[in-house]
Amino acid sequence: MTNQTSSRSHAVLMITYHNNNVDMNSYSEVKSGKLSLIDLAGSERASRTGNTGLRMKEGANINKSLLALGNCINVLYENSRTGQSNHVPFRDSKLTRILKESLTGNSKTLMIANISPSGHNYEDTLNTLKYANRTKNLKTKMKRNVTVPVNDASVIEKQSQHINALQGEIESLRAELAISK
């Protein structure tokens, strides 16, 4: 009854980018990035929407995932504010599992909040602004996403020598164990 054209769901679009650069010295690096666009469904009050049955259940699921996201944002904000590392409940919802990297990882997060100018929606608007403000205060650490595969023969040779030394050590320890039995 409140929005006849709503999809009644969250929408997630993730675009991943990988770029391989190889120069003349057979040195290669892989640059990568991800763009996540998330359109969250708005919270729904059953008393205002008048929904029953399946529609009411859908609204409850929307609210449950938004509550789980809000809980994660609250813990992340408190952790960054106090310097603590309290458990963040990302496993409480599929939505929060998907958004974990966007909220904590190597990312920059931007939230656009849609609010209503109507006095009738004052409480919902205020809650949305509080939600957005907590999200705004999250701190993430940005760094370049560059992976350099090992193509250097000397590095591979050193790793092979180290592996051989470790295998020799394992054999000598096994021999010692066999003698002590």
**pLDDT truncated to tens, each residue of the chain (181 aa)?**
566 666 667 888 888 888 877 665 555 677 788 888 888 877 666 556 666 667 667 777 788 888 899 899 999 988 888 888 899 999 999 989 988 888 887 777 778 888 888 888 888 889 888 888 888 888 777 777 666 665 667 767 788 889 999 999 999 999 988 887 7
CA 45 to chain centre: 28
Based on the domain organization, do 154 and 103 belong to the same domain?
no
Long-range Cβ pairs for the range 19-24 (8 Å, 24+): none
Based on the domain organization, do 125 and 174 belong to the same domain?
no
Structural domain boundaries, residue 176: 150-181
Based on the domain organization, do 132 and 179 belong to the same domain?
no
Based on the domain organization, do 67 and 107 belong to the same domain?
yes
Based on the domain organization, do 63 and 109 belong to the same domain?
yes
Counted domains in the chain: 2
Contact call for residues 48 and 2 (beta carbons, < 8 A): yes
Q: Is the pTM of this model over 0.85?
A: no
Based on the domain organization, do 132 and 174 belong to the same domain?
no
Contact call for residues 147 and 32 (beta carbons, < 8 A): yes
| Residues linked to residue 38 through DSSP beta bridges, in sequence order | 12
DSSP 8-state assignment for residue 53: H
| pLDDT at residue 45, as a whole number | 64
